Chain A
Amino acid sequence: MAKADIVERVVDYIVKSIVEEPEEVSVTIVEQGPDDVVAEVRTAKSDMGRVIGRRGRVAKAIRAAAGAAGEEVGISVGVEFID
């Protein structure tokens, strides 16, 4: 879904800015419905804690930022962190 490009770009940029090993980051957009995607985030094992943050604070912030990206193009966005 081309519309989801912005979501991928935003999530990829944020996660790569946070981790120690940006080259290990991958963001995959999985379509759930016509206007509904999930961004699957993978990082180096050692970085996952950083990306999720204490009590999920950082993960929550990434979800909010991704949601704002989705809103720009009218899709709803989920973010899953996969280890």
Chain B
Amino acid sequence: MSYVEIEVRAKTVDLAVEAAMQELGVDDREELAVTVVQEPERGFLGMGGTDAIVQVKRSKPRKRQRDRGKKGGDGSQNKGSRNRSGNGGRSRSSGKGRQNKGKSAEGRTSKGRDMSKRPDKKEDDRDDISIDKQTEIVKDFLGGLVDVYGLEGEVVTKVEDDVIIADIKGEQTEALIGVRGSVRSAIHELTRTVVQRYASDTARIRLDIAGYAERRREALTIYANQLIEQLMEDGGELMLEPMSSADRKVIHDAAAANEHVTSYSEGDPPKRYVVLARTDKPDGDEEE
């Protein structure tokens, strides 16, 4: 039995350990031996500061059986978005002291899916169905959902670059957005789960509700530009709060528009976050 050791970086020790538990597929903290490499230092309003770094090792043998059972009910993120091809073939037991930046729990899930499902023959009966058919499933599910909520709305779907784009339109459907898009995220997750029930190879799905994604993109861009302005004055780095991949992309896009600022992501989903950094000296230093 090999004991994989990983190093994880996050805002707090607890978050780092949590991410490590996800990475290792461990439910119980007791099963881990945790060494704190670096205590975090707080930044201002959750920005700046330094991360906690912990080294985590499994202290007990892996409970394979239990873990597999869990994966049976998998409602994982869509595979394409985060399962980077570079990680796909990497052996899980080989990485002693391996950095896990950029690796995602979701990625592992989809990888494990083909082989570690419960030996249920129905599972194998799922077809490799076309993206158009998957789109139809998405449309049916969301249309039915709007109905059971008793809302007036319309579901529009299309396929672009192998991504299913679903848009729930109608003023009333704002009820399906929730605080900071929490309900929208939930519906997104459920939509993926429904498609996975039928399709063995699930396409990526994007879901917008009542124009929320557009408004969020605008608000995030304004926020990113404020932070970039701050970096232009003060230099240094700013660590943002954890965001979804779609939200992170908006920040990266804003940073890309400014040649003095760079951006990159750290941590594992769902706690993956963007760091904005000044690439040269702040204005003040240059001019004075």
- Determine which of B74, B175, B197 lies in contact with A68 in the assembled complex, contact meaning CB atoms within 8 Å: B175
A24 to B132, CA, bound (A): 29
CB within 8 Å of B: which A38-70 residues: 46, 48-55, 57-58, 60-65, 67-69
A13 touching B145, Cβ below 8 Å: yes
At the interface with chain A, which of B28-36, B82-90, B181-189, B232-240? B181-189
How many residues on chain B are close to A (CB under 8 Å)? 32
CA distance A83 to B186 in the complex (A): 23
Q: How far is the CB of B257 from chain A (nearest CB, A)?
A: 34
Residue numbers of B with Cβ under 8 A of A are 22, 69-76, 109, 118, 120, 122, 141, 144-145, 148-150, 175-176, 178, 182-183, 185-187, 189-190, 193-194, 197
| A54 pairs with B149, CB closer than 8 A | no
* Distance from B165 Cβ to chain A, minimum over Cβ atoms (Å): 20
A18 touches B193 (CB 8 A): yes
Q: Which residue of B lies closest to A66 (CB)?
A: B186
Contact A58 B190 (CB under 8 A): yes
CB pair B190–A50 under 8 Å, yes or no, is no
A54 B183 Cβ-Cβ under 8 A? no
Evaluate contact between B70 and A18: CB separation under 8 angstroms.
Answer: no
Give a binary string over A9-33; 1 marks a CB under 8 Å from any B CB, 0 the rest. 1101110011110000000000000
- A75 CB within 8 Å of chain B: no
Within the complex, the shortest CB–CB distance from B226 to chain A, in Å, comes to 29
Q: Name the CB-closest residue of A to B144.
A: A13
- Can you report 26 residue pairs joining A to B where beta carbons are below 8 Å apart? A10-B145, A10-B148, A12-B148, A13-B144, A17-B144, A17-B197, A18-B75, A20-B122, A49-B70, A49-B118, A50-B73, A50-B75, A53-B75, A53-B76, A54-B76, A54-B109, A55-B22, A58-B190, A61-B186, A64-B178, A65-B190, A67-B183, A68-B183, A71-B175, A72-B149, A72-B150
What is the bound-complex CA distance between A71 and B182, given in angstroms?
13
Chain A residues with CB under 8 Å of B175's CB are: 68, 71-72
B190–A61 touching, CB < 8 Å: yes
Q: At the interface, is chain B mostly helix, strand, loop or mixed?
A: helix
Q: Which residues of A contact B (CB under 8 A)?
A: 6, 9-10, 12-14, 17-20, 46, 48-55, 57-58, 60-65, 67-69, 71-72
Looking at A9, A12, A65, which has the most chain B CB atoms within 10 Å of its CB?
Answer: A65
A64's nearest neighbour on chain B, judged by CB, is B186
Q: CA A37 – CA B105 in complex, angstroms?
A: 33
Q: How far is the CA of A19 from the CA of B190 in the complex (A)?
A: 12
Given A17-B144, A68-B183: A58 in contact with B189 (beta carbons within 8 A): yes
Partner of A20, one of B74, B109, B197: B197
| Contact indicator A64/B182 (Cβ below 8 Å) | yes
- Known: A14-B190, A65-B187. Contact between A48 and B73, CB under 8 A? yes
Given A17-B141, A57-B189, A65-B187, A51-B122 contact (CB < 8 Å) = no
A12 to chain B, nearest CB (A): 8
B66 to chain A, nearest CB (A): 12
Are A6 and B194 touching (Cβ within 8 A)?
Answer: no
- Contact pick for A60, options B69, B148, B186, CB 8 Å: B186
- The answer for the CA separation of A74 and B186 in the assembled complex, in Å, is 20
Residues A57 and B75 in contact, CB atoms below 8 Å apart: yes
Q: Are A68 and B193 in contact (CB under 8 A)?
A: no
Give the distance to chain B from A47, nearest Cβ to Cβ, in Å.
8
B36 to chain A, nearest CB (A): 24
B150: contacting residue among A6, A14, A49, A60, CB under 8 A:
A6
